[in-house]
Structure formats: structure tokens, C-alpha cells
Structure 1
Amino acid sequence: MGQGHSRRRARGPALLKAVRTGDTARVEEVLASCPGAAGYCTIEGLSCVHVAAATRRADLLEHLLMALRQAQASPRQHKAWRRSFATTINQKNVHGQTPLMLACRSGAADCVRLLLEAGADPTLFDGLQQRTCLHYAALHGWAEAIEALVDDESVVRAADGHMQPLREAIIADSQGHHRYIDGREGCGLAPLHLAATHGHLAAVKTLLKWGASIAVRCNTSYGAGSSSSVPWTPHSTPLHYAAAGGRCRVVYALLQAAAERQRDDPHTHDVRVLVDFRATACAWSAPST
């Protein structure tokens, strides 16, 4: 076992370099001689899986996952490689980011699906701003990555033992307990806040399609963006952020979704009159022209 570990350590750096440069032939060569090299990571926690996900190389990621499974199936080292496989899939780098987070940040929907199928945990938080992979996808406007995360195929086991959609799962975030799709990051923002703030219309529509709350509130102060000197206070909704940033198409999408939900449930709150901590309604949040 010690010899196999030493061999992996020796081939690991070569594999990491090949993945970084996108050298498919070299990746295949290293993995053929030492499948366990796929579990290599640097002292900073950077793994080959991280790099493949961040660079949108689903083909290389597939090779790495296959090699990890092959090593896992070894009858001599089954338990050791099983731990290695689970650890590698959810390995955090120096910033607390998993491969799944980097795949969502880069909009690599194929990589997102591969990692989820391999058992990656989408509920983990990073070490920077306590964001999940869904926050990353929303922040950067990757609608397809959001779809891969929260569609009907993404399920988790609930406390009662039954499987339920990931988007409906209750998680403990930085602000309490919320549905996964409405989970707050360190600044108290839900994914819909982030997508609305940056004007990512497709991402906003995808989150709304899968049931994201339009009335979700942020719990701390947060700047509306580098172009704005006005910090938005606790209790601001995504509509506050979109109106403040002049994101007209996003505002329209949010209002349209709110109207449709109100037709389905007349008791739904009118998001247009919801006020933030300063008693500012969305209608008063738009910048003057």
C-alpha cells in the first residue's frame, strides 16, 4: 500500500500539469499507468478534479472519475480508495471551494452533471463568503448550471429517510434554516439576489422556474454593485436589487412571475410594496433618470 501511495505521489504532479495544459494524451498515459494519481492534490488542496472542472474540460473530468473508480475497485486497496474517491470529489482548495463550485463558477454544466452523478455534495459552503455552488452559478449567470443543480434529477435524502428534490431541501446556512434554492450566503443573499443584482436574466428566469422565492430577504447590508455607492439594507428583496441597479428586464421578469404566483395563490404578498429595513419599497428603489 505504501508503494502504491508513493507511486501516486510521483505521478500526481505530472497529471496535474497535463490537466492544466489540456494534454489529453498525457492524461490518458498517466492514468493508464497509475489510476490512483487522479486522487492527487497539492498542499493547497488543489486537485486534478478542481482544474478539470474550472477549465470546463468535461472529457478530462470523465477520465479522472473513471480512474478513481478503477482504483476504488482494487481488491487490495478497496477501503483506502473508497475514502480517497469521496474525499477527492468533495476536496476543498485553500479557499474552501470544491470542484463542483468551480464547475458552477465557470458555467460547465456537463462537469456539474458528472460531479453530481459521482456523488459531489452540492450543499457544502466555501470558506470565502459561505456560498454554495448554486450561489456561484447564480452570481455568474450560468442558467444551464443552475438547471443541472436544481432540476428534477437532483435529489437528497431527507431526515425522514425519503428522497426529496434538492431545491426543496432545508439546509442550515449562515442566516438560519432555508430551502436550498433560497439559501443565504455570508452576506445574507440568496442566489436570486445575486442573479438579479448583476442582471443575469436567464439565471433569474431559471431560478424562478424552479420555485425560488421572489420575496426572499437578505439579512445583512450589502453593496448593490461596484457602480453604486448605496448599500442595500437588511430585508431587501431581489426586486430591490434589480430596481436599484436599473435592471429593467430583470424587474419585469420578477414582476411577471409575482403576478402569475398571485393568480395561483391570492394570499401571496405583493412584492412591489415589500419594504426593506429602511422602510423603502421597491417602487422607490429605482435610480432617478
Structure 2
Amino acid sequence: MGQGLSCRASDEHGLFIAVQFGDMEAVEALLERDPALLQHTTVYDRHSALHIAAANGQIEILSMLLERSVNPDVLNRHKQTPLMLAAMHGKISCLQKLLEAGANILMFDSLHGRTCLHYAAYYGHSNCLQAILSAAHSSPVAASWGFARFVNVRDGKGATPLHLAARQRRPECVHILLDNGALVCASTGGYGFPGSTPLHLAARGGSLDCIRELLAWGADRLQRDSSGRIPYMVALKHKNGACAALLNPSSVEPIVWPSPLKFISELNQEAKALLEHALMEANREREKNILKGTAYSLASPSHSDAGVDDNVSEGSESELCCICFEQACTIEVQDCGHQMCAQCTLALCCHKKPNPTTACLTPPVCPFCRSTIARLVVAKIKSEDDADQDVGDVSSSKLRKIRRSRNFSNEGSSSFKSLSAVGSFGKIGGRGSGRIAAESEWVDKP
């Protein structure tokens, strides 16, 4: 009898080792000999074979286990599901397979009260985060909860996925969450310092990229935590000087993405990418002025506009924006068909900071014909051979060549002043080529 128990324990251990290293033949042989091994778990963590396959990215073994009717939501010692472990370790193929098998995206662990969305955000796996959010649109669980509620689900200490992504310096995850409706000014419960917003946590972690994203989506620099501190004070306390400079309430307000506007929320990906890039570049220009002369000055642009050709033979006059006369027309207003550059489009939409409490926002009108803007799309321009081509495919070097050589003042041209209350969209420099300041390393257990 003792020998039988020893053999079973040996088979059990062999199964877990085979799953971990992806030895499909050994797994199949062991299960053929003893199908009951599927119900066994590791001694301490209570990991099942499915947990081990998900954590190690063994997609073939995971698929085989699911085909054998293994419960996709089996729990380990801390009530973590295989889906949580796949999100934690960034195993996107296993995560997608588990989602296809009907894994529950709204299960909470007993360790921190977190979901798979929290884990993807905390560990910075943006592809896993996007896959979970995409699944949430069609998931019965998320449908019963509501998608917006799911995106802002809180863990046991009151932290949303956005709080965790900001604290862990995960700008890509911050952007994805904000783009999917995460509340930019939500306060935590007991996570971090009570009452902290994502901006407080980004200031503490010292992530300039996260701070840029949060400010561009309307984060309030004056919101206080439960001890009365604004994010600026948190950045100073943790010696994050560049972050403090951007968060200083006396510095100029950043340009904010006009998310409440209906035609902005319905942008296609190409038009949205153009406008978001223009917004971030305009805010970087603002950062240069804030950080100029300090130890945190932005690095030189990766490209230079010096020597830009004065003539615009490569692009006709009609290709230039008729508002600023500097940038190529990249955005088209529908239904009227008038075109302008992305920078001027943003100035038109962002001349007032969006107020989330406003019940109804009046959409802006086309500056040429005064008709209400119904939709924005990527503009089409004519190349030299008069063939239509998408502006998104035009190289950045060509776009720079068709700019006029003259610079506008910080206030912009006279025809542009009425649109530029948020600041100048004059000649916008390129993205800095290096980090602004070294980010101090710190450890924060999940």
C-alpha cells in the first residue's frame, strides 16, 4: 500500500514537471495511465495542471487540458484562476484560449481581492489588458455589471486597475485604461496613501510618461488625498523633480483630450492616432518651456527642422492648413469636407477643458463654413502624380518639407489666435531622444 501511494505521488510530481516544461508526450502518457491526476494540485500553492500551464505559457498542453473538460476557473490556494496567472505572467496566447473557453473575468482572488484586469495592469502586460477589455464587451458577466463598472473595478484596498498601472509606471496600460473609460480622478481606499488618485501614485513612482497620459486625459493637479496633499507635494517628497515641475499648479495647464465630445469618441483609429500624437507633441512643447533651464530639461529633438526647404514644390498650397499655414492638412471635417491639420483640429476641440459634470457639450463648428462637426476622418491628399493617398502613409520627412519655413510666435498667427487659447500649436518639435531623469527603483509587492 505504501508503494502504491509512493507511485501516485511520483506520477503527480511528474505531471506538474512535464506541464511546466511543455512535455506533451509525458503529460498524455501520465493522464492515460491515471486520469484522476487532473484533479490533483501542488502541495502548498494548490496549483492545478491548468494553473501551471497558464503561468508558463504552455498553450498546447493548456488547450489539451481544456478539451478534457477541465474547469477553466479552477482555484488555487489564494483563489487565483489560471486566467489571473496568465495575465500576471503576460502569457497572451494562454489568456486568449482561456477567454475563449469561457473563463470568468470577474473573479476576485483572496490575496488582494483583485481580478485578472488588475493583474494585467499591475504587471504591465498591455496586450493581455487589451484582450481582457475586448472580451468584456461580450462577456455575460461584464454585461450584467456594465463595461464601465468593470473597467473601474476595485480590489480589496480600493485600487482600480488604473491606480495600479500608474503606481507601477505602466504608461501603455494607463493609456489603454483611460481610452476604455477608466476614471482618471478616482480615489483609492487603503491602497498606497488613502485618498490617492492615479496622479498621486504616478507622482510617487516618478513616471513622467504616466503623468503625461493622466494630465492629457484631464487629471486634476489640485485634487488632494486624505492628508490634504496634491500630487505636486507627493512628487517633491519622493524627490521626483521633473514630475513636480509638470505637476506644479503654477505651471501652464496641459492640453486635454476632448473625450466628452461624441464625434471624438467615434473617431476611427487612424484619425485618433493623428490627433493623439499631435496632442502629446504639443504638451511636450509645453514641457520644454516648463523645464527649460532646469536640471530636468528635455533632451534635444531626435530630428532637426534646420535646413527645411523654403519652397513647397513637393506639396501644393492647398495641402497646407489654411489656419496655421504650417502643417499639412491631415484631418477632414465631415460632412462639409473642409480640411485642416491635426494641431488646429485639437485647438478647435480643446479650447475649453472638458468638464465631466457637464450634462451636454456643444460640439464645435467647422471654422470655414460654421457647420456643426459631425465626424472627423483622415484627410486624403494628392501626391505629385495626382493619385490619392492616405496622409497616414506620408513620411514624416515629407510632411516637414511641405511646412513653411517661417515660425509663428507663441501666440500663433492672427487667423489662429481665436483657436489657440490652450497654447501655441506653432512649430512643434519632435519627441525627446532620451529619458528626462533616471527613475529610482523601488519594490512594491502586488
TM-score relative to the length of structure 1: 0.71
Does residue 26 of structure 1 match 2:26? yes
* 1:165 to partner: Cα distance: 8.3
* 1:157 to partner: Cα distance: 2.8
Change (3 A) 1:92 1:56: same
Q: What amino acid sits opposite 1:218 in the alignment?
A: T
Contact 2:95/2:128, CA 8 A, preserved across alignment: yes
Larger Rg: 2
Determine the C-alpha separation between the residues in 1 that align with 2:162 and 2:203.
14
Change (3 A) 1:185 1:20: same
* 1:34 to partner: Cα distance: 5.8
SS of equivalent to 1:149: helix
Determine the C-alpha separation between the residues in 2 that align with 1:40 and 1:255.
49
Of 205-214 and 141-150, deviating more is 205-214
* 1:167 to partner: Cα distance: 6.7
Q: Of residues 224, 235, 239 in structure 1, which corresponds to 2:195?
A: 235
Change (3 A) 1:285 1:165: farther
Contact 2:163/2:198, CA 8 A, preserved across alignment: yes
Does residue 156 of structure 1 match 2:135? no
Q: Of residues 115, 119, 123 in structure 2, which corresponds to 1:136?
A: 119
Contact 2:20/2:58, CA 8 A, preserved across alignment: no
Identify, as 1 or 2, the structure richer in helix: 1
* 1:152 to partner: Cα distance: 5.3
* 1:32 to partner: Cα distance: 5.3
Q: Which contiguous aligned blocks of 4+ residues in structure 1 show a shift greater than 4 angstroms?
A: 8-13, 31-37
Determine the C-alpha separation between the residues in 1 that align with 2:18 and 2:10.
14
Does residue 122 of structure 1 match 2:66? no
Determine the C-alpha separation between the residues in 2 that align with 1:91 and 1:108.
18
Alignment of 1:203-218 (within 5 A): 203-218=173-188
Q: Of residues 106, 111, 122 in structure 1, which corresponds to 2:89?
A: 106
Q: What amino acid sits opposite 2:24 in the alignment?
A: T
Structure 2 residues without counterparts, runs of 5 or longer: 1-7, 242-446
Contact 2:136/2:143, CA 8 A, preserved across alignment: no
| CA deviation vs aligned residue, 1:26-80 (integer Å, no higher than 9, x gap) | 12334456666444334553110000011111222112112x13xxxxxxxxxxx
Q: Of residues 121, 135, 146 in structure 1, which corresponds to 2:129?
A: 146
Determine the C-alpha separation between the residues in 1 that align with 2:99 and 2:135.
13
Aligned identity (percent) is 35
Contact 1:154/1:165, CA 8 A, preserved across alignment: no
Aligned position for 1:93: 76
SS of equivalent to 2:177: helix
Alignment of 1:182-197 (within 5 A): 182-197=152-167
Determine the C-alpha separation between the residues in 2 that align with 1:40 and 1:218.
38
* 1:215 to partner: Cα distance: 1.2
* 1:198 to partner: Cα distance: 1.2
Does residue 219 of structure 1 match 2:189? yes
Aligned position for 1:200: 170
Determine the C-alpha separation between the residues in 2 that align with 1:152 and 1:116.
7
Q: What amino acid sits opposite 2:77 in the alignment?
A: V
Contact 1:124/1:132, CA 8 A, preserved across alignment: yes
Determine the C-alpha separation between the residues in 2 that align with 1:109 and 1:35.
28
Change (3 A) 1:50 1:211: same
Determine the C-alpha separation between the residues in 1 that align with 2:164 and 2:118.
7
Change (3 A) 1:123 1:251: same
Of 41-50 and 109-118, deviating more is 41-50
Q: Of residues 209, 231, 241 in structure 2, which corresponds to 1:282?
A: 231
Aligned position for 1:5: none
SS of equivalent to 1:217: coil
TM-score relative to the length of structure 2: 0.47
Structure 1 residues without counterparts, runs of 5 or longer: 1-7, 70-84, 170-178, 223-231, 259-269
* 1:148 to partner: Cα distance: 1.1
Contact 1:152/1:165, CA 8 A, preserved across alignment: no
* 1:210 to partner: Cα distance: 1.6
* 1:15 to partner: Cα distance: 2.6
Contact 2:118/2:161, CA 8 A, preserved across alignment: yes
Does residue 59 of structure 1 match 2:60? yes
Determine the C-alpha separation between the residues in 1 that align with 2:158 and 2:206.
22
SS of equivalent to 1:51: helix
* 1:16 to partner: Cα distance: 2.3
Contact 1:9/1:37, CA 8 A, preserved across alignment: no
* 1:187 to partner: Cα distance: 2.1
Aligned position for 2:41: 41
Determine the C-alpha separation between the residues in 2 that align with 1:148 and 1:185.
20
